[in-house]
A and B are shown apart, each in its own frame.
Chain A
Amino acid sequence: MSAADLLGVVLQKTPLDALHRRLGARMVEFAGYEMPLQYAGIMAEHNACRASAALFDVSHMGQVEIADAARFERLVPGDILGLKPGRQRYTLLLNEAGGIIDDLMVANLGPHLQLVLNAGRKEIDVAHIRGHGLNVVTHFDRALLAVQGPKAVDVLPEGAGLKFMDAAELQIAGIPCVVTRSGYTGEDGFEIGCPGTSGEALAELLLARGAVPAGLGARDSLRLEAGLCLYGNDIGEQTSPVAAGLNFALSKKRLAAGHFIGSAAVNAALAEGTPQKLVGIRLDGRAPARAHAEIRVGGELVGEVTSGCFAPSLNAPIALGYVRADLAEPGALLDLIVRDKPLPGVVTALPFIPHNYVR
């Protein structure tokens, strides 16, 4: 029994639950869902994604529709009215203090915007968006599959006409899908939303076409190598997007106009800098430093690790963490404290491995 069972928490299942069990997945609790941690093993799944194509079930993420782009734009620092039909963008829901309520993808599907929200934040997000007078149509029963890797387009030739961050409604084997060319691994790939009742058939098709099933374990090591933040670890309501290095999600035009929640705080952070910044860190040796490990320089506490793992593609441990801003330049030497011992590390430009997007 899992801890959640003992606490009487009823975990939700995705539309692919039966498939995961047939494939022999090791299931774990994540954001209130039973999710596959791994099938064959994290290392093999990670390598399959870097070398070929991996299939992830990310149906726990929240797919929602909103129609009023102008009003939605007031909640985020990105250029939403300038997002053309058939295009997608990464953006942030911010609070008044400029902290991050969630990070999300927004796609312009023509008549409406589609948002993909983090599983653990989707209810909070929807309440927040509705609280600002928007109508939100939730599709939490839909399936969302990610096919990621250099051979993703061989697995999904229907998506070959899309470029990175394009979005389209496509039929795949007769299943109506919303397909975006994007993902969370640093590789080329697609995220495919479809009715929950068609999720298993779509997954079986993608597996038959050669995708390797991969779980949350590989998803985490892949995104960390790609230098992508995980909400709840690397960013949160107390985090400024400026400290997190998410400046690419801040539209210059929108910052200048200032008409979004949190704009004053974000502009101030840009003007004055932030006391801490998120950096990538490569460690010497093979021992990983995990989330919450202290970061010290000359014994002085200068920051904290927010994510860390052994990076299969680098055969070395890596981490993300916040450090004092003056130490945030590549080459800065740090000690990460693991089991009371300092492990030497060096601030490293992100991503740890180059992105491989098809632009």
Chain B
Amino acid sequence: MSQVFYSKDHEWVVLGDDGLATIGITDHAQNALGDIVFVELPEPGRNVAAGEPCAVVESVKAASDVYAPLTGTVAETNQAIIDEPALVNSAAESGGWFFKLRLADAAAVSSLLDRAGYDEFLSTLA
């Protein structure tokens, strides 16, 4: 199984064999957001910089930005969460992925956290 990396903005990243990075929000993030009712995803072909807001999730009550955890070009988006936003709640770290990036620099994943590092980061949040 591929290693999963995490950002402090609560995104997860998996590097696939096809060289694309699949990106979604963490289970912690979906739980904090609550019932997700709408997702807006970036257009394929868009170039995004690490830290740039590039997707939006709306819960019943509020809108939240999703940030690009790494720099790259959007290669693919997940139509399933457009059709069924609740999938982000039920399968945040699997079928509820957001988009795939062709990374500008695959080595940049080393700037992200591993699971233990992310768990430690979560434990610092009130």
Contact = CB atoms under 8 A, between A and B. Distances in A.
Contacts of B63: 288, 290
A310 B58 contact: yes
A288 B35 contact: no
A309 interface: yes
Contacts of A37: 61
B37 A38 contact: no
A43 B35 contact: yes
Contacts of B24: none
B59 interface: yes
B58 A339 contact: no
Contacts of A220: 61
Interface in B2-55: 34-35, 37-38, 40
A221 interface: yes
B61 A309 contact: yes
B61 A42 contact: yes
Contact of A286 (B35, B37, B62, B126): B37
Given A46-B60, A217-B61, A221-B60, A310 B37 contact: yes
B56 A286 contact: no
A206 to B, nearest CB: 24
Interface size class of B (residues with CB under 8 A): 10 to 19
A41 interface: yes
A248 to B, nearest CB: 28
A312 interface: yes
B37 A288 contact: yes
A11 to B, nearest CB: 14
B60 A309 contact: yes
A176 B58 CA distance: 43
B58 A288 contact: yes
Contact of B56 (A43, A46, A310, A339): A339
Given A309-B60, A310-B58, A42 B85 contact: no
Contacts of A41: 34-35
A286 B85 contact: yes
B51 to A, nearest CB: 18
B9 to A, nearest CB: 18
Contacts of A221: 60-61
A286 B38 contact: yes
B63 to A, nearest CB: 7
A70 interface: no
Given A42-B35, A290-B62, 8 more contacts: A2-B126, A43-B60, A286-B58, A287-B38, A287-B40, A288-B38, A309-B61, A339-B40
Interface of B: 34-35, 37-38, 40, 56, 58-63, 85, 126
7 contacts: A38-B34, A42-B35, A287-B58, A288-B38, A288-B58, A309-B61, A339-B40
Closest 4 CB pairs of A and B: A43-B35, A310-B37, A286-B38, A42-B60
